Structure 1
Amino acid sequence: MVYLAIGFPPAAKSCAYRMRETANQFVNAGWDVTVVTIAQESWERDSGIDLTLLEQVDPQVKVVELPLAREDLETDIRLFDEARALRPGAWMNDLRKRQTADFPEPNFGAWRGALEQAVLDIHRDHHADLLLASCVPYVNLAAAWKLWEEARVPYAVDFRDGWSIDVIEGVEAFSRDSELGRWEQKILDNAVSLWVVNDPIAEHYRTRYPDFADRVRVVRNGYDADSSPGRSHKADADAGLVFGYLGTVNFTAQHLEIVLNAWRAAREQEPLMANARFEVRGHIGAGSGRESNRHVEILKQAEVDGVHFGGPAAKAEVASIYARWDAMVLILIGGRYVTSGKVYEYMATGLPIVSAHVVEHDASNVLDGHPLWTGAVGLDEEALTQSFVRAAHMAIDTSEAVHAEAMTHADRFTRESLMTTAVKELVDQLATDQATHNNRAGTNANAQTSFVPGGPAS
């Protein structure tokens, strides 16, 4: 399999966990896997790298790193040409035109040629039976199409959050007759399968492309079992309760201020929280804006309220960080089309969870039934204040049995289990497609009962 996975470890991005497990499970199923991504140096100017992510990549996975990078994230002004240095706005407009000339995607469209050549070279050297394209970037789809056109290598697509649906606003991102729409239609017309992370996104695609509906699969993100502390927890009120948020800070500054205002009010109202602390861990911003933005300023101003920003956390640290906390704060953007991978990990801690997101959010569906969830109350400061207070009491009063019940609620969402099933379904679908193709071609399809990696492409 050729796996177009830009964001693969050691990229410090949330998609890296899903990509790592996908590659590993294909190896476990007997496949040779070649990952196509970009160089580590490119991630160092973007979201950063986490070398601990490489520790659990199966050693049989081959990785091809292409020398591609986002020009707009370059921060070394000695490398700027005169146009960029003197007229940065005009330079950026020109860059966008150049980037979208070959493929309609800002920041990444210009990568099309390199990606197409990469998959052709890999297939020439080691025959591919399947290509899986993980998006974003969506320019990966052009490479998938190229290999299909040139060599008829079957392909599947992992949209994760979808393309033609704006998951944040909950509206159509582009029409079917637009350039983007024509690309999506063309790709899905010939894809073996489409993966998305939740049911609302799946329903969008099943409705938009009814002839393709039976090939849309919900493949949730889940969580890695080694990210959970794996034991019940007893809070120490005298030492001060510790609330925590771990994840990429991609919500607005206003959203953060609402949460921190509610936190401040809860500390003032509830004696249990008088000496409580709120730790925020994760990546904030990219490129020149990494940890140098309004969010960081807000967090620094809140230090007087027991708020502490500890920066990004390596994957290997996650379980030990959760083990130090007494309650979780789930801050999410979007609504019914957004789930977030962190919700599964938060549930697996067995700790109380404060939801700081809109009520009609897919995370609410996942959390339903969790015994230590304070409930979805929206982004109302007063309601959030009471959620913090309830979580504090849960942290103190909850028995070991209920903590264990809370952890059990997340068991069905282990990433390994979810991806093992997804990979098997995709391989089975590929076998079915090949059998159908062989039947139509008049070949002996009855002799082919399963797909064997390394055999002739359909």
Structure 2
Amino acid sequence: MNLLVIAYHFPPDGAIGAVRPYEFARLLPQFGIQTWVLTVRPEHARQLNPDFQPADIPDERIVRTAVHPARYDNIRLFVDKMKALLRLEQTRKAGDGNTARSGTGLRRKPLLLSCLLEMLEYPDRYAGWYDPAMRAVHELVQQVSFGAVYSTSPPRTCSLIARAVAERYRLPWIMDMRDPWITLVEGWRTTIKCPVVRRWHQKALDQCLQRANIVVANTPVLREHFENEYPWVAGKVRVLPNGITDTVQSAQTQYVRSDKLVIGHFGTIYGCRTTYDFLKGVSLWLQANPQNKKRLELLFYGESVEDVGGIASQFGISEIVQVHPPVSRTEVPAIMERCEALLLLAQQQPMQVPGKVYEYLATGKPIITMTESNSATGRLLQNMPQCYIAQNAEQVHQTMEQLWHEYSRGELFCDRSDYLTPFRYSSLTEQLAGWIKEAVDRFQETSP
């Protein structure tokens, strides 16, 4: 059977979202499913990484297309000019002494501007891929007879392309969702402010869920969300977590204590992810244990929307904090090896698990995770050895006390290989292959 895989992120895109579709496309032939991949050209990659190249997949089975500028890109300059004019208007009115009136206007204008931006970005900033992708599929189906289509999102555009392909060519569709369709924060509130755009997204999600033959959620919490909010889709929702490649082996060496307790964070800091409570908690611990300051080091590798160094200065610990630019995936393991413990930021992501958590687990090193205990990440790690869940600075303080005690005793290593076995991509791919075959069989039985 031939399967069309639709994935925006795919090697040499170094984004973590590229790993899952690549591993599935690479391993599915072992289970009797031949894969063709529809993706974008390397120049459109989110994080181009020349060292991350697709192996074991013939080049002729990877179809790469252009991406047209989306509405957002076309009008972004116009919006930037409008924002500049709003700032000038704010300054002028403040100078005229019209404080109350300008304040009211400023409460309204950002909402209107947010609505405009959200309309321009709908369904996402990758919407320019839709037309080139559909043309490429039309040419491809003239040459290859596909039995099913698989898509993985985000971006949402992947799901919309896959839905159109499934409809046009009468194919069963496996809709893989690595994240919720609309980003949710604490209290299950959507970050999309414009009610019109929320309705657009809700309608698009409803149509996709109705058309999909199998819906794959990558955490049990996301599955529970679908079952609660869309009871009619519960029968076709499956859980398939992100995983770890078979080439990444669990650390087997015994721990040797170094002169410093080095804690490393790897990845992008964005959205609700923040270092604030972690750094504040470390500061509180050092206030109680000032003698340990010279033996503690905090490393941050990756992009950040917040000023990590500035926050560290605010809490008086800037001398132990190092902020570095992103490094390639091939460099990360060696840097992790030099760390005594790892930091994971997953605040206010109730239904997602960061993809790198499995690579963290494979190191055998302690993991400090900033997240809520009932979140998908909290549930996953709460029973894992040497994994600490902290929600606030005081809990970080307590965690640092425990971590330092284990560091002093030379006990900062544990073998988690048994825990990781179900998360190997070879095992996950076998499950996915079974679901694909199930979807195809049912589709053929019900098709006229």
Q: Considering the TM-score relative to the shorter chain, is it more than 0.5? A: yes
- Aligned residue among 403, 407, 411 for 1:395: 407
CA distance in 1, matches of 2:77, 2:122: 27
- Equivalence map 1:17-416=2 (5 Å): 17-43=19-45, 47-54=46-53, 56=55, 58-59=57-58, 62-68=61-67, 104-163=122-181, 166=184, 169-171=187-189, 178-228=199-249, 230-237=251-258, 239-252=259-272, 255-270=274-289, 271-272=291-292, 274-284=294-304, 294-295=307-308, 297-298=310-311, 304-374=318-388, 376-379=389-392, 381-397=393-409, 399=411, 403-404=414-415, 406-416=416-426
Please list the CA deviations of residues 349-371 of structure 1 after superposition, one character each: whole Å capped at 9, or x if unmatched. 21112222223322121112222
CA distance in 1, matches of 2:293, 2:60: 48
Do 2:124 and 2:156's aligned partners in 1 also have CA atoms closer than 8 Å?
no
Q: Shift in Å at residue 245 of structure 1?
A: 1.2
Q: What RMSD in Å do the two structures reach over aligned CA positions?
A: 3.7
CA distance in 2, matches of 1:280, 1:260: 12
Amino acid at match of 2:255: K
Over 3 Å counting, the alpha-carbon distance change for 1:189 and 1:5 in structure 2 is: same
Please list the CA deviations of residues 317-361 of structure 1 after superposition, one character each: whole Å capped at 9, or x if unmatched. 233222211111122122432322232222222111222222332
Structure 1 SS opposite 2:369: strand
Over 3 Å counting, the alpha-carbon distance change for 1:252 and 1:299 in structure 2 is: farther
Structure 2 SS opposite 1:64: strand
Q: Shift in Å at residue 258 of structure 1?
A: 2.1
CA distance in 2, matches of 1:428, 1:347: 32
Over 3 Å counting, the alpha-carbon distance change for 1:320 and 1:56 in structure 2 is: farther
Gaps of at least 5 residues in structure 1 are: 286-292, 442-458
Structure 2 SS opposite 1:139: helix
Over 3 Å counting, the alpha-carbon distance change for 1:99 and 1:367 in structure 2 is: closer
CA distance in 1, matches of 2:84, 2:168: 39
CA distance in 1, matches of 2:404, 2:72: 41
Do 2:368 and 2:390's aligned partners in 1 also have CA atoms closer than 8 Å?
no
Amino acid at match of 2:409: D
Structure 1 SS opposite 2:53: helix
Report the count of equivalent residues: 417
CA distance in 2, matches of 1:300, 1:48: 30
Quote the residue 1:290 is aligned against.
Answer: none
Do 1:8 and 1:16's aligned partners in 2 also have CA atoms closer than 8 Å?
yes
Q: TM-score, normalised by structure 2?
A: 0.80
CA distance in 2, matches of 1:164, 1:304: 36
Do 1:222 and 1:344's aligned partners in 2 also have CA atoms closer than 8 Å?
yes
Amino acid at match of 1:27: P
Over 3 Å counting, the alpha-carbon distance change for 1:29 and 1:409 in structure 2 is: closer
- Aligned residue among 428, 433, 437 for 1:423: 433
CA distance in 1, matches of 2:191, 2:118: 20
Q: TM-score, normalised by structure 1?
A: 0.78
Q: Shift in Å at residue 22 of structure 1?
A: 1.6
Over 3 Å counting, the alpha-carbon distance change for 1:303 and 1:114 in structure 2 is: farther
Do 2:221 and 2:375's aligned partners in 1 also have CA atoms closer than 8 Å?
no
Do 1:24 and 1:61's aligned partners in 2 also have CA atoms closer than 8 Å?
no
Over 3 Å counting, the alpha-carbon distance change for 1:95 and 1:425 in structure 2 is: same
Please list the CA deviations of residues 111-143 of structure 1 after superposition, one character each: whole Å capped at 9, or x if unmatched. 432222222222123222211121122122332
Gaps of at least 5 residues in structure 2 are: 86-111
